[in-house]
Amino acid sequence: MTRLSLPHGQLCVWTDIDPAHEADFNAWYDREHMQERVAIPGFTHARRFRATDGGSRKYLALYVTDTLDVFRSDAYRRAFTQQTAWSLANFERMTGTQRRVGDLTIEAGDGEGMHLALFVLQSEHIDVPHLRERFDAVLSEPGIHAARLFRTVPDLSAPIGADAAARPAADALVLIEGSDAAATRRVATAISTAIAGHDEVRTFDLLWRAAAPPPAAGRDAETKAAAAALPA
């Protein structure tokens, strides 16, 4: 079943890091950066992935928002322009970084998968109705749980890092997720070959997921409920 309501927004950061700084890079992502981003109003969750195919740009981070307009908000603008010293140090160490901001035009399936296969789709190959049909069809295959079309908005996709890739064109990413790594890659490759005429599919495994903290009112209610449940 595809999502038919207003599309979620998404930020995709796809990058490499010098092995000499990899431990610090992962500590920064895992102990500061992900938590900072999901705390911005309008962010719902973020996920980190590591490539399994030995290709360039080993690390992938996906941040999902309520809508694309979250990336135009004052809160996000402040976070983007007022980085911590740890963030600035790691941005300078990242190499070949591709930063895309856009919307999840199609979200088909239920939940998320441990395994992710993706490919870049150039603008001339983006056919939303056709992709929606293909996505709904592949979700019946064993080990496939989600298929998404993420369309880049170039004016929001400013590059980051000292060795960043150029601002991307109005392209898209097709993302296939599942519990079976081989099936996930096979499905993504079949779609890529049929629609884009290439089989340049990248594969990743999930590292972890960070959810946005509940609103303050919700936290207060949970605290009171927990206190009321304690024995007198």
Residue 79, CA atoms < 13 Å, CB-side half-sphere: 19
Q: For 28-49, what is each residue's pLDDT tens digit? A: 999 999 999 999 999 999 999 9
Distance between CA 122 and CA 200 in Å, rounded?
12
pLDDT of residue 232: 47
Question: What top-level class would CATH report for the domain 9-212?
Answer: alpha beta
Show Cβ contacts of residue 28 under 8 Å, excluding neighbours closer than 6 positions. Answer: 86, 87, 90
Q: For 85-134, what is each residue's pLDDT tens digit? A: 999 999 999 999 999 999 999 999 999 999 999 999 999 999 999 999 99
Query: What pTM, to 2 d.p., does this model score?
Result: 0.90
Q: Where are the alpha helices (DSSP H) in the chain?
A: 22-28, 34-38, 74-81, 85-93, 128-138, 181-196, 216-229
Residue 123's CB is within 10 A of a number of other CB atoms, namely: 11
